[in-house]
């Protein structure tokens, strides 16, 4: 564990191993600890970096809701890589972390060697579909404000297991409105322009995200889709051996 002040907030992160850098971002209401298994498996040959997004875990939770957005999350990712003197990295994440990884590519393609997108989606072109997603994000925010961290009890596995590591239910509420919510179609429109090796992973039981992952794999040139058997939304936690085998094969084949 380490902390550093970047973009005005204290960011909690972990780095293990040596070699090609891999930045892993967690899902909404989870923490960097969801990647502990990947630190263990990859640490002997890769430099694995995981971190807590603003509003999550032990990273600072600003009180101003305007301090939560896709752009600020991408800025935090870049600042952390700059702090660690990483010029290019494999950028990956699960769920919200996967979306932020795609956002990072759109903003800083020169810093991305490859993408690993897990149980995630690229957002929406249709404004009505986007609004339905955003309404669910607002409901989750209100739930955290009403029940505090007890709201995690009905969430995904990685979120439930993260409860003891979160500092602020209000930070999670702000993150839902500012980071989980979608604003436009920039990412989904950018998929055909991605020019780095891309691995898309999804659990076969992660019903809301199977179709989005299949879509991304079709739209991103040369992307590889891997479906993890008997896994839900937390594919790296539900079936770690399958997940790690697929991930290692992809990483080891990179030029």
If you average pLDDT over residues 84-105, what whole number do you get? 98
Instruction: Write the CATH number for 82.
Output: 3.40.50.1820
Total number of domains constituting the chain: 1
Average pLDDT of the chain to the nearest whole number = 96
Summary count for the chain: helices (H), strands (E): 10, 8
Q: What's the length of the chain?
A: 255
Q: What is the pLDDT at residue 189? A: 98
Would you state the pLDDT for residue 1? 78
Distance from C-alpha of 215 to C-alpha of 4, rounded to nearest angstrom? 37
| 43: confidence class by pLDDT, cuts 50, 70, 90 | confident
Tens digits of residue pLDDT in 138-192: 999 999 999 999 898 766 777 777 788 999 999 999 999 999 999 999 999 999 9
Dump pLDDT digits (tens) for 47-61. Answer: 999 999 999 999 999
**Overall average pLDDT of the 107-121 stretch:** 98
Residue 203: which pLDDT band, with cuts at 50, 70 and 90?
Answer: very high
- What residues contact 49, with CB distance under 8 A and at least 6 apart? 13, 14, 15, 21, 22, 23, 24, 80, 81, 84, 86, 89
DSSP category for residue 27: P
Residue span of the structural domain in which 57 resides: 2-252
pLDDT for residue 18: 95
Query: Whole-model pTM?
Result: 0.96
Distance in angstroms (rounded) separating the CA atoms of residues 101 and 115: 7
Kindly report, residue by residue over 23-36, the tens digit of the pLDDT: 999 999 999 999 99
């Amino acid at each position: 564990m380490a902390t550093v002040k970047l973009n005005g907030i204290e960011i909690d992160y972990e780095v293990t191993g040596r070699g090609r850098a891999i930045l892993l971002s967690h899902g909404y209401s989870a923490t960097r600890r969801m990647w502990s298994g990947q630190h263990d498996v990859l640490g002997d040959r890769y430099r694995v970096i995981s971190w807590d997004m603003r509003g999550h875990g032990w990273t600072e939770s600003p009180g101003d809701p305007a301090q939560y957005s896709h752009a600020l999350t991408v800025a935090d990712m870049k600042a952390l890589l700059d702090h660690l003197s990483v010029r290019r990295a494999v950028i990956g994440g699960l769920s919200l972390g996967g979306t932020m990884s795609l956002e990072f590519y759109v903003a800083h393609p020169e810093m991305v060697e490859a993408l690993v997108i897990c149980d995630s989606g690229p957002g929406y072109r249709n404004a009505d579909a986007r609004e339905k997603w955003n309404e669910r994000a607002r409901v989750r925010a209100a739930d955290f404000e009403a029940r505090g961290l007890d709201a995690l009890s009905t969430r995904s596995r990685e979120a439930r297991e993260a409860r003891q590591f979160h500092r602020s239910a209000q930070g999670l509420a702000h993150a839902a409105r500012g980071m989980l919510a979608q604003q436009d179609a920039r990412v989904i429109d950018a998929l055909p322009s991605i020019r780095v090796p891309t691995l898309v992973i999804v659990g076969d039981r992660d019903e809301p995200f199977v179709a989005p992952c299949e879509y991304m794999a079709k739209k991103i040139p040369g992307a590889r889709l891997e479906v993890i058997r008997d896994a839900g939304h937390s594919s790296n936690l539900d079936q770690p051996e399958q997940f790690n085998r697929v991930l290692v094969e992809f990483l080891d084949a990179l030029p």
